Structure 1
Amino acid sequence: MAEEISVRALKQDDLTGLLSLYRQLVANDLPLSPVLAETQFAEILRRDGMTVFGGFAGTVLASTCTLIVVPNLTRGGMSYAFIENVVTDAGHRRTGLGRRTVQAAIDAALAADCYAVRLMTGAKQPGTLDFYRSCGFDMTKHGLEVRRIPPR
């Protein structure tokens, strides 16, 4: 029997699973103390316009992305959104769970009347870019950034 698949907004008690997923997202990431992780995650969950979505295979958190909705004074006052920190556990890739998780974030952004949902990636693997295209993203703009730490 296949595991039940579900997607929902994460809660504070999902932090351990989330941090496990993030270890697959950024190899050799900067260290994060457990106290700071708890504090930061609580702040994220309290912040209006931010939602961390989790895709579950049964009871296992196996996919995640963060949605950030930004209020705006152009485009008739319609907000825009960013999706960040997209990762699916290696053992659950190519199952549709990652796509369902990202789609939940897109749906929430559109329900919040966002005129655009943006996602930046440093990935160069064709499979990753194909995944984002399959979620509905198009390469319509150039992304520029100023970084404090080097890209991965």
Structure 2
Amino acid sequence: MSEIIRYIQKHELKELLDLYKYLNKDDPDLIEDVELKKLWQEILEDPNQHYFVVDVDGKLVSSCVMVVIKNLTRSASPYAIIESVVTHPDYRKRGIGTRLLKKAQEIAREKGCYKIMLLTGRKEVIPFYENAGFECKSKTGLIIRFDGR
């Protein structure tokens, strides 16, 4: 089994969308139309957005998004937010997601980030994130949703 953690490539949008079906089952399928392809290009060109994937034998099995945010506090050090962490069910409990998050942490350090924040609404995955170095006791996350969910 060959495992590579890397940045996503432009032609892998469909594979990413297929993987996202395991993230939020209630999300409607996105149609690869002109607007979506334009959005995808904008995402790929944004130097502050980092889409990481785990490729196992040529198949995308895990992904996360890290956004680096410029900042005027903490000596003008940026910080990062991680979202959309997903691993295909057939590849869970193998350490793949943990290694993916460690790679994101490595890049955040290289970018000079002083912290990474991550939210989850699922208590059962907190041990997974703690195993990857995150802690629950630091801050409390609050959210306002505009999508009615």
TM-score calculated relative to the size of structure 2: 0.94
The Cα of 1:38 is off from its aligned counterpart by 2.1
The Cα of 1:122 is off from its aligned counterpart by 1.1
The Cα of 1:31 is off from its aligned counterpart by 4.0
Q: Secondary structure at the match of 1:39?
A: helix
Q: Secondary structure at the match of 1:141?
A: coil
The Cα of 1:144 is off from its aligned counterpart by 0.7
List per-residue Cα deviations over 1:103-142 (Å, max 9, x = no partner): 11111001111000110111122xx111000000001111
List per-residue Cα deviations over 1:13-66 (Å, max 9, x = no partner): 111110011010001103422114322221111112111000011101000000
Does structure 1 conserve the Cα–Cα contact (< 8 Å) formed by 2:17 and 2:30?
A: no
Show structure 1 runs of 5+ residues with no match. Answer: none
Letter aligned with residue 33 of structure 1: I
Q: Secondary structure at the match of 1:25?
A: coil
Aligned to 1:134: 131
What RMSD in Å do the two structures reach over aligned CA positions?
Answer: 1.1
Letter aligned with residue 45 of structure 2: R
TM-score calculated relative to the size of structure 1: 0.92
**How many residues end up aligned between the 2 structures?**
147
Q: 2-side partners of 1:138 and 1:44: how far apart?
A: 29
Percent identity, please: 33
Q: 2-side partners of 1:123 and 1:50: how far apart?
A: 24
Letter aligned with residue 30 of structure 2: L
Q: 2-side partners of 1:114 and 1:132: how far apart?
A: 19
Aligned to 1:149: 147
Show structure 2 runs of 5+ residues with no match. Answer: none
Poorly superposed stretches of 4+, deviation over 6 Å: none
Q: 2-side partners of 1:130 and 1:107: how far apart?
A: 20
Alignment of 1:1-152 (within 5 A): 3-35=1-33, 36-125=35-124, 128-139=125-136, 140-151=138-149
Letter aligned with residue 70 of structure 2: P
